[in-house]
Amino acid sequence: AGWWTYEFCHTRHAREFHGANKLDMVTGVSRQVVEEENYLGRYDVDILESYPDEEEPMHVINATASDMGPSGTRKIGTSRDGLVKEVPQKNAPPVPSDAGGNGAVFVQEYMHGDTCEDPDVTDSLVKAGGIVDGGIERSTTVRFSCGKNYELVKVNEDSTCHYVFDVTVPALCKHPLFKA
């Protein structure tokens, strides 16, 4: 068990917190109290819901070898006109090795988290949110995949103040873009 507990609230936020059990001397009941917390990113409805539902497949990334395009590109969905959208392999978000179904993930970015003032923040400007008063905003890439339970299965800080949350969703296992 690590110092931080991670929380993902779909369409709200990603955060880390450290809690401690405190005994209420009056009631004798122990309860958890948050001693420290950082918001790692917030859902931005203006960005994440600004595209039509038909464009959602453009945010699905498939890890199968058959989805590798020419010259090191990865297929990441289909556009409205039916064309396959590809990005250079080096720019495509990595797919978790334990993603269920066919390994596909639906990706969302949760931006505008709390300011991070870690000494290494200059190395993270490419991945994390905006620059704020000498620091950067924390941000999180959320990757939804097929799985047996609704669960936050993995958290990784892939660069200073940028996080990757892998979340499994049973309903995705029935979706054509995620079926094995």
Note the pLDDT tens digit of each residue in 125-164: 545 455 555 678 999 999 999 999 999 999 999 988 999 9
Q: Is the per-residue pLDDT at 168 higher than 70?
A: yes
Mean pLDDT score of the chain: 77
Query: Is residue 2, in this structure, part of any structural domain at all?
Result: no
Query: Residue 34: what pLDDT?
Result: 92
Query: Residue 155: what pLDDT?
Result: 95
Query: Is residue 3, in this structure, part of any structural domain at all?
Result: no
Domain span at residue 83 reads 40-174
Residue 77, sorted as left (phi over 0), alpha (psi -120 to 50) or beta, turns out to be: left
Query: What are the angstrom distances between the C-alpha of 35 and each of 32, 147, 160?
Result: 9, 32, 22
Query: Is residue 77, in this structure, part of any structural domain at all?
Result: yes
Query: Is residue 34, in this structure, part of any structural domain at all?
Result: no
Cβ pair 102, 179 in contact under 8 A: yes
Q: What is the mean pLDDT of residues 44-51?
A: 82
Share of the chain above pLDDT 70, in %: 70
- Neighbouring C-beta atoms of residue 16, cutoff 10 Å: 22
Query: Residue 134: what pLDDT?
Result: 62
Query: Residue 139: what pLDDT?
Result: 94
The pTM assigned to this predicted structure is 0.73
Query: Is residue 105, in this structure, part of any structural domain at all?
Result: yes
Note the pLDDT tens digit of each residue in 98-133: 566 778 899 999 999 999 877 766 554 545 455 555
The number of distinct structural domains making up the chain is 1
Query: Is residue 10, in this structure, part of any structural domain at all?
Result: no
Query: Is residue 114, in this structure, part of any structural domain at all?
Result: yes
Domain with residue 62: its CATH number is 2.70.130
Query: Is residue 146, in this structure, part of any structural domain at all?
Result: yes
Cβ pair 177, 60 in contact under 8 A: yes
Q: How many helices (H) and strands (E) does the chain have?
A: 1, 13
Query: Residue 38: what pLDDT?
Result: 96
* Residue with the larger pLDDT of the pair 59 and 43: 43
